[in-house]
Every structure is written in structure tokens, then in C-alpha cells.
Amino acid sequence: MNKTSSQRLPPLKRNWWLKHRFFKLYMLREATVLPLVFFLLCLMAGMVALVQGADSWQGWVGFMGSPVVLALNLLALAASLYHAATFFVLFPRVMPLRIAGRSLPDNMIVAGQWAGVVVVALLFFWLLGRA
Amino acid sequence: MRQQDFDIVIVGGGGAGLRAAIGAAEAAKEQGASQRIAMLSKVYPMRSHTVAAEGGAAAVTSSDDTHQAHFDDTVSGGDWLVEQGVVDYFVHHAYQELVQMERWGCPWSRKDDGQVQVRRFGGMKTARTWFAADKTGFHMLHTLFQTSLKYPEIERFDEYFVLDLAVHEGAVIGVIALQIATGELTLLRAKAVILATGGAGRLFRFNTNAGIVTGDGMAMAYRHGVALRDMEFVQYHPTGLPGSGILITEACRGEGGILLNKDGYRYLQDYGLGPETPLGQPENKYMELGPRDKLSQAFWQEQQAGRTGKFGDSDVVYLDLRHLGEKTILERLPFICELAKSYINVDPVKEPIPIRPAVHYTMGGIETNPQCETSITGLYAAGECASVGLHGANRLGSNSLTELLVFGRLAGEQASRRAAHTEWADSALLHAQAERQQATLARLCDGNRSGENWVDLKHAMVQAMESGCGIYRTEESMAQALAQIRKLRARYREIRVNDASKIFNTELLECLELGCGLDIAEASCLGALERRESRGAHQRLDEGMQTRDDVNYLKHSQVFYQGEAPARLHWQEVDVRFSAPAERAYGDAGKGDKV
Amino acid sequence: MSKQAMSKPGSPQAASHQQAFDEPLWWGLFSAGGVCFAVLLPAVILFIGVLLPLGLLPADALSYERATALLFSVPGFLFVGAVVCLPLFHAAHRLRHGLFDISVGRDGFNKKLMYGAAALLSMLALGLVVAGMLS
Amino acid sequence: MNKTISVKRYVPDNAAESYWQAFELPVDDSTSLLDALNHIKEQLDSTLSYRWSCRMAICGSCGVMVNGIPKLGCKTFLRDYDGEIRIEPLAHFPVQRDLVVDMEIFLEHLAAVKPYLIDDDPVKPFDPQAPETYRQSPAQLARYKQFANCINCGLCYSACPQFGLNPEFRGPAAIALAHRYNQDSRDHGKKQRMAELNRHEGVWSCTFVGFCSKVCPKHVDPAAAVNQGKVEAAKHTLIALFKGDEMNGEGKAHE
Ligand SMILES: Cc1cc2nc3c(=O)[nH]c(=O)nc-3n(C[C@H](O)[C@H](O)[C@H](O)COP(=O)(O)OP(=O)(O)OC[C@H]3O[C@@H](n4cnc5c(N)ncnc54)[C@H](O)[C@@H]3O)c2cc1C
Ligand code: SF4
Ligand code: F3S
Ligand code: FES
């Protein structure tokens, strides 16, 4: 009582996350949304192009093939996989699944989610991969 | 100097202190009174030593158990040096207190049908020990602490070191405390004070106790004329880790762990605890489930005979759990695995754990009557610091956690009732005593004085206690220890603190604790020397004193403080109204025990 | 005395605490978006962002006609919801907190900015699908 | 073998600034950091202040930063460190002196979440004359057991940047404790606790950095608790919306 509880430290400096590997990886995880946003904006541009007609659409496909855009989207692909890797391990901790009172082992849940990624990819292959 | 007024002041935030605080708050509510309760502790309550208790808390639970049986176990466990009326009260109130804990959320381990599970414990005839995995004390302390947050009338003074009681004309009028963070003195005026400051295991070099278990409260009451009772009885726990002394709970043996000497032999059968019980079928009061004093003594005998192994520079025997199987070990004794792995790098699933006895529990303490009141009006004591008369010459494992609850509550209720019809004393009286404290502190921290170093004195004290008052004692060893302690007390008057800072001065606290330790160490040695018999934890090797002598020594020792002069000892009759002293027998020899 | 006073239940302070009823919504959108980002986006980026521009898909896989047919439909509407809108909210949430992490701006404002942008863009995206379906 | 450890010292009534002090001391395989500090205090410099008590990783007193990571001194062994060992007080708490930090705010956060069993209208009230326990199956116990193992050491607060950025954040241990009671089959206080958790400074300040769980010496996984708390808070909000309950404050007149 009457101790120093009113005492407060100044909040962290903005470079706090550079001090430890764990925090850098955290920031990297958070930063995966940057290339994601870029890709989403590309995608929306594509939709605009699609509404505008076949020529714009072709133009957009070309735009997507320009080296910088392609590189950024490759980055987005990597980001989505890194995001998946970090996100999937969180899931069983946020929502532990219990079957008959026993909780499902975490690695099973994680494996299940990766299976989902593969299934989606197969679906796309089925839809777009064949002529 | 700041002064604040409270109806009840509780010194100590361990199991006993917290239960007393809640008990007092409830009692005040019942009386329709509004009372302010202060609880002081030199550490945050959840750091108190109760947190380290592992094994469990006893109460008659299953339908085939009886109060009489728990009574008999406790009385014979204490080698008849117990207050039988107190034990009777205890066994009849144990169960309701454990249920109350459950109602407050304590995560007791459960049976499949949802009822609370009990385990076996040393010296208890039947399984009656409630447990929360192997962290019973931890869960009890946190449950009590968290529950105490419900009561706005309990005001906490965390990290306040209580220096002294204020006493006037035979009645307690308050306490004087040091706020550790600032070094400021605070006066708390009170109508009733409860001491719940825990034991004094740190008097000894090799012990299972936390660093804060230094007997401060015992010294405070003692210096004001209250008797310390039965201080010669110090429990050695048979299973401490070599090096640190960290406790490996008795529950390991309750679950079926066995003790082996270096030849892999279950040596306990040679010490009146046999015959050998089959592996995986522990039987109460046999072999590994004999009482702690007998087991520690057996270790000593094996050591003398050269049948102990070595771990580092400690002589050790081995606690083998492997036959219990990985699943049971990890489920029932997870904390033990963690401790053994971290502190000695042994995995109990794969290897036997090297262990040795270590000082564990202070049976004696501040003498109180069965209502927890001391000879000073308005001053109560409960928990390990008190000698209400429950443990006698040897405490049974898992009785003390229950004691905290039963007598913590009782002390709280009694204090609340007294406070209801007591007035505060004149503030001037407190201030006068506080001034004296301030002067003492100033002298201690006076950097211009050369003086004794607390580290030297502390090492000399624990050394003296260990060699003089160990598992086995002789007239000569105890006389030497007593003489040494008296010398150290004289040297302590010249002690000096190097650290002049007022803020969080832990060196000052060490010195204050050492002063307390030395005073009660004298009481402990004196009681030991004068008790010329062997009883419970007090075992002599002297000719003619190796057995119990009920004619001369069926008596409590009481030691009275005499300032700088040597302390004085008296003998006090024991309450044996229900059960006459009998042979204390275990193993097959104990079969004839009445049930 | 401050300590006890603060910590007691029912103290005036407790009552003045504001619950954050909007946060569950943002967090729900963030989580759903996170799942989509993790499960759907790798394939989407791979096929549309990489294979398509590299010409590694069969020629008519995403020809103008096929693309229009696929997108301007009810499944297409759902696709945009899952692949564009929810991930937008996911990104908005992380950006908002990221700005707080590096002490940029005030959270109250960042929050409006981020979720507002995500909402606008989402409406735009869904609007495009509807426009496509109507035309 | 000898090792050197550097300790960050700060004694406000002697000097306004903190400074580093190096100590060389003998160590063996079982020397814990706490042993080393005790050695320093007894043999090298008695003015060094730090907290400790149980020396067996259960009382939660002895948290410090070891090379920038929060650790229990008594559960950190010098055998695991080859290079330099730098000891600092726990991060994100105001330093009182040397390795001692002010934990008051942590205790405020703990107390604020009502960390006790709430059952205002029990089916069978407790009766000392005929005491009866609740029933709780081992499976029900298992739902909260892990979260009941917190020793209040505060390491997770030093690990959590969100607490560092905003000390009003209730923080991992307090929320884990609230979750422990919310998950307890005997408890009926979830609604009252939700009023506290469903705040910006409650569960919503957490961005699942997850370092709290990494450093937790008791495997409480507070990060999981906080984020399960988000699910609960979301459910609570939905229910409140549908029921049109009075949503701020303490819920019903429970006190
Ligand atoms: C390792 C271990 C395991 C044990 N296991 C069991 C078991 O399984 N079953 C069982 O029944 N018993 C067990 N015991 C015994 C039991 O735990 C203790 O007897 C009991 O916890 C003591 O509780 P207490 O409340 O009296 O004191 P403590 O919990 O020690 O609390 C003492 C309090 O007093 C305060 N205090 C002390 N001095 C001062 C001062 N000068 N100023 C201010 N405050 C002060 C402290 O801060 C603390 O809050 C075990 C003991 C040990 C050592
Ligand atoms: S959750 Fe873990 S790290 Fe945090 S206070 Fe509790 S025990 Fe310590
Ligand atoms: S580190 Fe902090 S942000 Fe959340 S997951 Fe742990 S509380
Ligand atoms: S000293 Fe108790 S946790 Fe380290």
C-alpha cells in the first residue's frame, strides 16, 4: 500500500521488436499481410478489368506478368505459407477440440489444416489446371 | 511515523494467516460487527512457505475411517507428548475445513465418480490425505489468497517486515513493522494480534524450508515473555535432495516408492518397520510408510554402517519409483519429476532418486491454549509458529496443512470476538516502543561502527545446530551447541549492516532474521539438552537415555526468554485424558494397536 | 491504501470500465480472414498470381469468357467474400495492431482508418461482382 | 570452474543512475543463478538486493532477466550459459532497487478479474455441520488444471510487449487465472468476469505474440488462455446482444 503503484514505466520504444529473435518472427508474421494486401489489390484490379471487358482483362494478365508484380506476388505466396504455418499452430490452442472429454492432439489438428490447404490446391487444379 | 488502527492484525500471509484473516472476517460478519483486519507479510502472500508443501492434508474421509483412528495415529505419532483435547478438536474439525477449501475452489484430485480422492501417508493407519497432485500446499495457498480477495475488510500490507509486538501490561496493543520498499516504520494499533509466521527450519544448514522460514514470530512472542514450548523437537524429513535439501514428498512412498541402500536392499525392514511389503503394495505404517523420525534414524544407522551411497559430497540412499510406471509417476507426481530433473539431473522414471534426510518442520513453537491464545492477552498464534499441542514429539505428515486451516480459522474467530469488546490502547504507548525499534535499527545500520558480520554468525549458527541437534544427539553435542549459540548471541549484539540504503535493504532483513534465529536456537538447544530421554524426533545416544521416560519426561518443555541472560526452562504437564501412553510401534510390531 | 481500494470488487472503478463490444466483431472477422488467408490464399496466389501470368495454365483456363462466367456468379460472390473481403479485414486488424506496436498514430484513429478501408474495399469488391452479374 | 556474471545495479538513494557490476564466482553443474546471487550476497557484495524464497520454482519470487529473457533465478542453471551472463530486473515493471521490481500493478491486475470461485446460489450451500463437496470429474478438472498452475511469477508480463506498451493491459497471468475459474465446472461467475475481460484492456489487447507462454516456467500456456478468453468474450457479446442484457458493469446485483 502507498507503495509506488502509481509509478509507471515509460512505454516501450518503437524498436523493441528488434531486440529479440522471437519478436522479429512475430513482426514478420504480422507483416505477412503487406504482400497479402498487394495481392488483394491486384485481384481487385483484375475484377475491375473483367467488368471493363476482354481487352482490359488481357491487359491485366500482362500487368500481372511484369517482373516486379510477379516478384511481389511470389512474396505473397511465401507470406501466405508462412502465415499458414504460424496460424495453424495457434488454432488448437485457441479452440482445443475435445472428443469424448479428451482433447485432440495438437499435431493432428495442425496436420488437418495443412490437408485443407492441399485440398484447396487440388480443387484449383481441377478447376483451372485442365483445359 | 505512520500509525493506522485496526481491530485485528495478522502477522503472516501463509496458509494459517490467510485462513485466520478469512475466519476473522466471517466471524465479524456473523456478529454483525464491522471490523478492519490487517494482514502483514514480509513477502507477497503467495510466496509464503505453505506454497512448497507437496503431499497433502489429512482428514477422516472414507466411511471405514474413524475420528478415533486419526486421533490415535496423531497421539502415538507424537509419542504422547500431545494435548489430547486439542487433537480431539482437530480431528473433528479437519474434514469440514477441507470441504470448505473445496467449496472455495481448491482443485483437489478426484476419483472417477467426481469425489475427492485420498492417498496414504506415513504414520496414518488409513488413506485419509487429500491432495492436489503433488502441489497441495501451492493449490491451498493460492485458493486461500484468491478467496481472501473477496473480503474488502482484509487490508494487506505486503512486504512489510514486522519487527516487534507492542505489549502493555500483559496485553498486546499493536505491532511495529518496516515497509521493506521504503525503509519506513509503520505502527499498527490493534485490539488483537495473530501470529502466523511459520516455522524455523532455517536454523539448520540442511533443510527443506524456504529462505524466509526464520522463526521471526516465535522470537517476537518469546522476547515478550511467552514460552516457547517443545522446541527440541525438530523433524527431519527422510527424503530431501542432496545439495539443496529440496523436498521429495512423502507421497512418493504413499504411491508405492521404496527406499534402498547402496546395495539395493530395502533396509527399513531391519529397523522394526517390517516385514517387507511386496512391491507396489504399500501398507500403512509399514516399511516406507513408517513415520518420519524412524525413517530418518534408519538412514543415520545405515550411514554409520557404511551402506549409503554418494551423490556429490552427500551420503545418500535411494528412492525408487520406477516400478510405478511412467504413467502413474507423471500423473501423480509431476512436480517431483520436474524437481529431480532440474536440480540433480535424475529422471525418476528411469533412475532411483538419491535422497537424504533434511530438517523439515518445527514441532514446537509459541505456546498457546487450545483456543490459540498465548499468555499475552489478545495475542494469538496459529500454524507452524504455534505450539497448540497437536504434534507433540513428532508431526505426522499431512497433519500440518490441515492444522493451518483448523487453527487458523479458530484463531481468527477468537481474535474477532475479543476485538469486539476491546478498546485500543493509548497511541503514546505504541510510539514509545516504536521509538526504541527505530534506535535499534539506526544502530544496526550505522556505517561508522565496525562489528560482526552476519554471514559468519549465520554459518556458525546453522553449523552448531546441525552438529548439536541432528537426527541423533548426545549430551556433549548439545551442550556444545548451546554454549556456541550463547556465544553467538553475545556476538550478535555487535552485528553490523554494510548496506546503508533504506530501500529494499535485504541485508538488514537477514540480520534481523538472524537475531530471531539465535534467540530461538537457544531455546531449542536448551530444551534438547534438558530432555534426558529419547522421544519422537528427539533421539539420544547417551547411555540410559535411549528410550522414552514417561516418569520424568511426559512433560512439555517451556523455555522463557531472559534478555541477555541465559534462557530458563520449565516443565509443563501434558493432557493425556483420553489415551494413556503406550508403546509406539510400527510394522508388524504395531499390529496390536487399538483401532 | 491505493492497492486494496483498487482491487476490490464493486469498486466504482470497476463500474466505469467500458466493455469493448465492437472488438469481438473485428476479432471474428480477423480470425475468419486468417483461416481464409492460410487455407485458400496459397492456392489462389499460386494459380492467379503466379501460374496465370507465367502462362503455365491451359490457354482457356482463365480466358475472359471463362473468368467472367466463374466470377460473376453466386459461387463467385462467395469466392470474393472469402478470398478478398475476409482477408482484407484480417489485414486491417493486423495493420492496426502493428501500428500500435511501433507506436504510430493513435489506436482510436487507426482503428477507424483500417476497418473503414477494409469495409470500403470489401463493398467495392462485392459490388463489382454484382455489377458483373447484372451486366 | 569460475564464471563471470554481470548484474545491473540500481540503488536510488545512492545514485540516480543504474550501472553494471561484474562478479566472478565458482560454479558447478548444479549451481543455479539464485545460488550464484546468494554467493554474491554472502561473499562478495552484501548490498545486492533481489527477491527469493523457496529456491524450488514454486513461490514465484525470483524472476529476473537473463540475457534479455525472463527466467526464474532458481530454475536457471549456469551450466547452460557459455558466454556472457547479464542479469537485469524483470522488464516492464518499475525497478525499486537492483533486481527488485514493483509488482503492485501485477497484483492489481490479478485482483481485478475476480479470481475466486463464484457460486452465489449454490444448489447445496456449505454447511459446517454436514459438509459436502461439489462433484467434479477428472475430465472436468482437466479442463482448468493447467491454468491453475500459475505461480504468479510475472515472467509472462516481462515477456509480453503488449503489456510493455500498455501497462493497463490485464495481461497473461491475470487472464489465465480468470479463465481458470471460468472453466471450472463449480463456478458460475463467468458473466461477472466477462465484464472485465471483454474490454480493450482485457483480452483484446493481446495480439498473440505468444512469448508469454514460451517463458512460463510452469507450462500454464497463458497465451492459450487469453485467446480462449477471446472466444468466450465473443460468445458473451453475442448472448448479451440476443438477450438484450444490461451489458456494462457488474451484471446482476451479485455483490
Ligand atoms: C517442503 C515442504 C513440504 C511440506 N509438505 C507438507 C505436506 O505435504 N503436508 C503437510 O501437512 N504439511 C507439509 N509441510 C508443512 C507445512 O507446509 C507448513 O507447516 C505450513 O505450510 C506452515 O504454514 P504457516 O502458515 O504456518 O507458515 P508459512 O506458510 O511459512 O507463512 C509464514 C508467513 O509469515 C510471514 N512472516 C514471517 N516472518 C515475518 C515477519 N517478521 N514479518 C512479517 N511477516 C512475516 C511470511 O511472510 C509468511 O507469509 C511441508 C513443509 C515443507 C517445508
Ligand atoms: S502464467 Fe506462467 S509466467 Fe505468467 S505468472 Fe503464471 S507461472 Fe509465471
Ligand atoms: S505475449 Fe502478450 S500479446 Fe498475448 S499471447 Fe502473450 S499476452
Ligand atoms: S525462489 Fe521461489 S520460485 Fe525461485
Q: What is the pLDDT of residue C9?
A: 42
Contact assignment for B155 to C7 by CB distance below 8 Å? no
The pLDDT of residue A4: 42
Helix (H, G, I), strand (E, B) or coil at B78: coil
Cα–Cα nearest to B411, from B42, B125, B39, B5: B39
Judged by average pLDDT, the poorest of B151-160, B217-226, B239-248, D174-183 is B239-248
The angle formed by the CA atoms of residues A65, A67 and A72, to the nearest 5 degrees, is 95
Total beta-carbon pairs less than 8 A apart between chain A and chain B: 8
Residue of C nearest to B158 (CA): C3
Q: Relative to the CA of D207, which ligand 3 atom is closest?
A: 3
pLDDT band at A2 (very low <50, low <70, confident <90, very high): very low
Angle, CA of B526, B530 and B532, to the nearest 5°: 145
- pLDDT value for B191: 98
Determine the residue of D58, D72, D218 to mutate for testing ligand 2's pocket, defined as the one with the most ligand atoms within 8 A of the Cβ atom.
D218
Which chain A residues are Cβ-neighbours of B157 within 8 angstroms? Answer: 1
Q: Touching check for C108 and chain D: CB below 8 Å? A: no
pLDDT over 90 for what percent of chain B? 87
For residue B592, the model assigns a pLDDT of 52
- Which residue in C10, C19, C100 is closest to D199 by CB distance? C19
Average pLDDT over chain A, rounded to whole?
90
- Closest to B515 in 3D by CA, of B216, B173, B222: B216
- In chain B, residues with a C-beta closer than 8 Å to the C-beta of C3 are 156, 158
D-contacting chains (≥3 CB pairs under 8 Å): A, B, C
Could you say which residues from 1 to 20 on chain A have a Cβ atom under 8 Å away from some Cβ of chain B?
1, 3-4
Ligand 4 atom closest to Cα of residue D60: 3
Query: Chains near C, with 3+ CB pairs < 8 A?
Result: A, B, D
**Tell me, what's the pLDDT at C17?**
62
Using the predicted structure, report yes or no on whether residue B595 has a pLDDT greater than 80.
no
Nearest residue of A to residue C70, measured between CA atoms: A127
- Tell me the domains of chain B and their CATH numbers: 1-233+363-579 (3.50.50.60), 238-358 (3.90.700.10)
For residue B583, what pLDDT is reported? 82
Residue type present at position D251:
G
Phi, psi of B506 (to 5 degrees): -75, -20
pLDDT of B363 strictly over 50: yes
pLDDT at D246: 52
Residue C1 has pLDDT above 60, yes or no: no
- What residue ranges line ligand 4, CB within 6 angstroms? D 34, 52-55, 57-62, 72-74
How would residue A104 be classed by pLDDT, with cut points 50, 70 and 90? Answer: confident
- What pLDDT sits at residue C10? 40
Average pLDDT estimate for C23-49: 97
Read off the pLDDT of residues D49-81 as tens digits, 9 standing for 90 and up: 999 999 999 999 999 999 999 999 999 999 999
pLDDT digits (tens, 9 = 90+) for B375-386: 999 999 999 999
pLDDT in tens, B8-49: 999 999 999 999 999 999 999 999 999 999 999 999 999 999
Tell whether ligand 2 has an atom less than 6 A from the beta carbon of residue D57: no
Q: What is the pLDDT of residues B430-442, one digit of tens each?
A: 999 999 999 999 9
Amino acid B591: pLDDT: 67
What does DSSP say about strands B314-320 and B258-260: parallel, antiparallel, or unpaired? antiparallel
Average pLDDT over residues B347-366: 96
| C97 shares contact with chain D (CB less than 8 Å) | yes
Catalytic residue among B253, B418, B489, B556: B253
Average pLDDT over residues B296-321: 94
- Lowest average pLDDT, out of B166-180, B292-306, B309-323, C16-30, goes to C16-30
Task: Calculate how close chain B gets to D116, using CA atoms only, in Å.
Answer: 5
What separation in Å is there between the alpha carbon of B213 and the centre of ligand 1?
7
The predicted pLDDT at position A11 comes to 80
Rounded to a whole number of angstroms, the distance from the CA of D83 to the nearest CA of chain C is 31
B323 catalytic residue (yes or no): no
User: For a pLDDT cut of 90, what percent of chain D falls above it?
Assistant: 88
Residue D3: count of CB within 10 angstroms of its CB: 17
Q: What is the pLDDT of residues B40-59, one digit of tens each?
A: 999 999 999 999 999 999 99
Q: Which ligand is nearest to the CA of B383?
A: 1
Asked whether A95 and C64 are in contact (CB, 8 A), the reply is: no
Ligand 1, CB cutoff 6 Å, lining residues: B 11-17, 40-43, 45, 48-50, 52-57, 136-137, 161-162, 196-199, 208-209, 212-213, 216-217, 247, 360-361, 383-385, 397-401, 404
Residue D252's pLDDT is 39
Q: Are D197 and D189 in contact (CB under 8 A)?
A: no
Candidates C3, C6, C18, C19, partner chain D, best to mutate (most D CBs within 10 A): C19
Using CA coordinates, name the residue in chain B closest to A5.
B181
Work out how many CB contacts closer than 8 A connect B with D: 158
Read off the pLDDT band of B528 (50, 70, 90): very high
- Average of per-residue pLDDT values in chain C: 89
Residue range C99-122, pLDDT digits in tens? 999 999 999 999 999 999 999 999
Q: What is the average pLDDT across A51-68?
A: 96
Choose from D118, D177, D193, D250 for mutation: most chain C CBs within 10 A: D250
Interface touch C4/B152, C-beta < 8 Å: yes
Closest residue in C to A73 (Cα–Cα): C49
- Kindly tell me if the per-residue pLDDT of B119 is higher than 50: yes
Q: Which residues pair with B228 in a beta bridge?
A: B366, B559
How far, in Å, from the CA of B47 to the mean position of ligand 4? 8
Indicate the average pLDDT of chain B: 94
CA distance A56 to chain C (A): 9
Least confident of B585-589, C23-27, C58-62: B585-589
Cβ–ligand 2 contact at D174 (below 6 Å): no
Question: For B252-259, what is the mean pLDDT?
Answer: 92
CATH 1.20.1300.10 fits C22-134, yes or no: yes
Please list every protein residue whose CB sits less than 6 Å from any atom of ligand 3. D 159-160, 162, 172, 206-212, 223, 226
Q: How far is C5 from chain B (nearest CA, A)?
A: 8
Cβ atoms within 10 Å of D125's Cβ, excluding its own: 9
**What's the pLDDT at C19?**
86
Active site residue B540: no
| Partner-chain residue, chosen from D102, D139, D231, that has the shortest CB–CB distance to A95 | D231
Q: What is the secondary structure of C92-108 as a DSSP string?
A: HHHHHHHHHHTT-S-HH
Q: For the segment D186-233, what is each residue's pLDDT rounded down to a tens digit?
A: 999 999 999 999 999 999 999 999 999 999 999 999 999 999 999 999
Chain B CB within 8 Å of residue D135 CB? yes
- Give residue C12's pLDDT: 40
Rounded to an integer, the average pLDDT of B521-528 is 98
Q: Is pLDDT at B527 greater than 50 in this prediction?
A: yes
Record the cell numbers describing residue D136, joined without a space: 467434479
Q: Which residue has the higher pLDDT, C4 or D132?
A: D132
ipTM for the assembly = 0.94
Cell 556505517 sits on residue: B447
DSSP chain D: -EEEEEEEE--TTT-SS-EEEEEEEE--TT-BHHHHHHHIIIII-TT-----S-SSSSS---EEEETTEEEEGGG-BGGG--S-EEEEPPTTS-EEETTEE--HHHHHHHHHT--S---SS-SS---TTS--PPP--HHHHHHHHGGGG-----HHHHH-HHHHH-TTS--HHHHHHHHHHHT-TT---HHHHHHHHSSTTTGGG-----HHHHH-TT---HHHHHHHHHHHHHHHHHHHHHHT---STTSSS--
The per-residue pLDDT for A97 is 82
| pLDDT at residue B443, as a whole number | 87
B-chain residue closest to C8, CA distance: B152
Ligand sitting nearest the alpha carbon of D220: 2
Q: What is the mean pLDDT of residues D224-249?
A: 84
The residues in C 6-65 lying below 8 A from B, measured between CB atoms, are: 7-9
Distance CA B523, CA B511 (A): 19
CB atoms D186 and B104 under 8 Å: no
Helix, strand, coil distribution of chain A in percent, nearest 5: 75, 5, 20
C13: confidence class by pLDDT, cuts 50, 70, 90: very low
Whole-angstrom Cα distance, residue B526 to residue B531? 9
Compute the nearest-CA separation of C49 from chain D (Å): 29
Share of chain C above pLDDT 90, in %: 82
C1 touches chain B (CB under 8 A): yes
**Probe ligand 3: pick from D147, D177, D206, max atoms within 8 Å of CB?**
D206
Taking alpha carbons only, the member of B165, B158, B174 closest to residue B48 is B158
Residue D249 confidence (pLDDT): 43
Taking the Cβ of residue A9 and every Cβ of chain D, the question of whether any pair is shorter than 8 Å is answered with: yes
Separation CA A48–CA A42 (nearest Å): 10
- Interchain proximity C46–A77, CB inside 8 Å: yes
Phi, psi of A72 (to 5 degrees): -60, -35
* pLDDT reading at B96 higher than 50: yes
Domains of chain D: 2-101 (3.10.20.30), 104-254 (1.10.1060.10)
